A and B are shown apart, each in its own frame.
Chain A
Amino acid sequence: MDLQELSIKLAHYEADGVSFESFIIHNNNQDVIQIIVDGNDELPIFVTQTQEQILCICYLFDGSEIKQEKALELNDVLLRLNVPMPLSSFAKIDDKYAVYGALATSSSLEQIGHEVVTLAANSIDALEAISDYLID
């Protein structure tokens, strides 16, 4: 399934009682699907595909938003939260913190849908859990 097809299918898809808005962004030689889960356009999920895997990424915050005196502690907390968090992991891309999940390219629409819903919920939960570490 290529990204174009996936985007169209996801736009009409409902997983776990949650609706999606999805659109594809053509970016040089790498397409990206942007998915808004349950109307939360503050935390869009980005889906890209490489030869080996489908990557679902949700950006949480910029490094500059961390209370500086708590930065080390936050990284420690995130590493500890990594394993208990279902299906997703924390990551850092440039200076942005993110949660992401990787799927095999052979994954079904249901599996991708489930991943995206879980990722969206994890993102909100994670932001809530660590919001004390962030500046207002």
Chain B
Amino acid sequence: MSIFQKLFTAIRGGAREVGEGLVDANAIRIFEQEIHDSEQALAAAKKGLTEVMAKEMQTNRTIKMLDEKIAEHEDYAAQALSKDQESLAMEIALKIADFENEKAQHVTSLSGFQSHITKLKQQIKAAEKTIKDNQRQLTMVKTTESVQQATMAVNDTLVTNQSSMASAKQSLERIKQRQADRQDQLDAAEMLAAETNGDELADKMHAAGIGKDAQQGSEILARIRAKSEQS
């Protein structure tokens, strides 16, 4: 069963300590050790691969060299035959046979190396996939465990928190109320600011003898003067 499926089953079963119930700390350590071991095996396989590939290159070179030698000696044999040196030609032919035997051996080992390389590459690919998969699963287990711990700590904090005793709806209403209060305060402050600004302006106008107040004063005075002149 995959780790995810195990988690799913555990959560459905209502297990409280999912992470811990799933894999104990010792199992995690063993799992980590297994990943470590596979990583080392993988490194060894990669080193093996480079060695075999080096041997393959070497063998290819040797075969090429032998091919050249065979061609060269075939040429010598032909020259000996054309000079009627039958026994010398035979000797050269035997030498060519030696080269061909040697080449055959190298060709055999070359195909051995090549199949070895293919196999090693497949193994390395498979090992890399397994390691990645195991690491992902390990991360999932560890994350689940630590998240479990973290949420439990938060939960414990919440339980001791008085404000959380209210229902969500009451909380929401309080928040909305606070936001409305704050808006009211802002509005009030703006109004106050506007009024204050208005007062300042009136004062300045008054000082300069402009505006309703100033005019009223002079009008009243004029009225009184007019009255006293009449009487």
The interface of chain A, by Cβ under 8 A from chain B, is 25, 27-32, 34, 39-44, 46, 48-53, 55, 57, 59-62, 65, 93-94, 96, 124, 127-128, 131, 134-136
Interface of chain A, main secondary structure: mixed
Is B214 among interface residues, defined by CB-CB distance under 8 A? no
Give which listed residue, B153, B163, B168, contacts A30 with CB less than 8 A: B153
With a cutoff of 8 Å between Cβ atoms, the chain B residues found around residue A29 in the complex are 149
State whether B163 touches A51 (Cβ < 8 A): no
- What are 19 A-B contacts with C-beta separation under 8 Å? A29-B149, A39-B178, A42-B164, A42-B170, A48-B150, A48-B151, A50-B150, A52-B143, A52-B146, A59-B164, A62-B168, A93-B155, A96-B158, A127-B172, A131-B172, A134-B167, A134-B169, A135-B169, A136-B169
Give bound CA distance, A135 to B185, whole Å.
31
15-46 of chain B: CB within 8 A of chain A: 16
Report Cα–Cα, A86/B194, bound state, in Å: 39
Most buried by B among A25, A42, A61, A127: A42
Q: Which 5 pairs, one residue from A and one from B, show the smallest C-beta to C-beta distance?
A: A61-B168, A50-B146, A42-B171, A48-B150, A30-B153
**Which residues of chain B are near A53, meaning CB under 8 Å?**
143
Q: List residues 39-89 of chain B with CB under 8 A from any CB of chain A.
A: none
- Count how many pairs of residues, one from A and one from B, have CB atoms less than 8 Å apart in the complex: 93
Question: When the two chains form their complex, are residues B157 and A42 in contact, meaning their CB atoms are under 8 A apart?
Answer: no
5 extra interface residue pairs, beta carbon distance < 8 Å, beyond A42-B164, A46-B158, A59-B158:
A34-B161, A40-B175, A42-B163, A52-B142, A134-B168
Question: How long is the Cα–Cα vector from A134 to B168 in the complex, in angstroms?
Answer: 8
B156 at interface by CB-CB < 8 Å: yes
Most A CB atoms within 10 A — which of B16, B150, B155, B164?
A: B150
Inter-subunit contact A48/B153 (CB<8 Å): yes
Which of A25, A50, A51, A128 touches B172 (beta carbons < 8 Å)?
A: A128
Q: Which residues of A contact B119 (CB under 8 A)?
A: none
Tell me the nearest residue of chain B to A97, going by C-beta: B168
Most chain B CB inside 10 Å of its own CB: which residue of A29, A31, A50: A50
Q: How far is the CB of B15 from chain A (nearest CB, A)?
A: 11
Pick from B16, B154, B170: contact of A46, CB under 8 Å: B154
Supposing A32-B154, A43-B175, A131-B172 touch, asked if A61 and B149 sit within 8 A by C-beta, the answer is no
Distance in angstroms from A18 CB to nearest chain B CB is 12
Contact across chains for B146 and A127 when beta carbons are under 8 A apart: no
> What chain B residues lie within 8 Å of A61 (beta carbons)?
167-168
Q: Which residue of A lies closest to B149 (CB)?
A: A30
Task: Tell me the minimal C-beta distance from B22 to chain A in angstroms.
Answer: 16
Known: A41-B163, A43-B175, A94-B155. A51 touches B142 (CB 8 A): yes
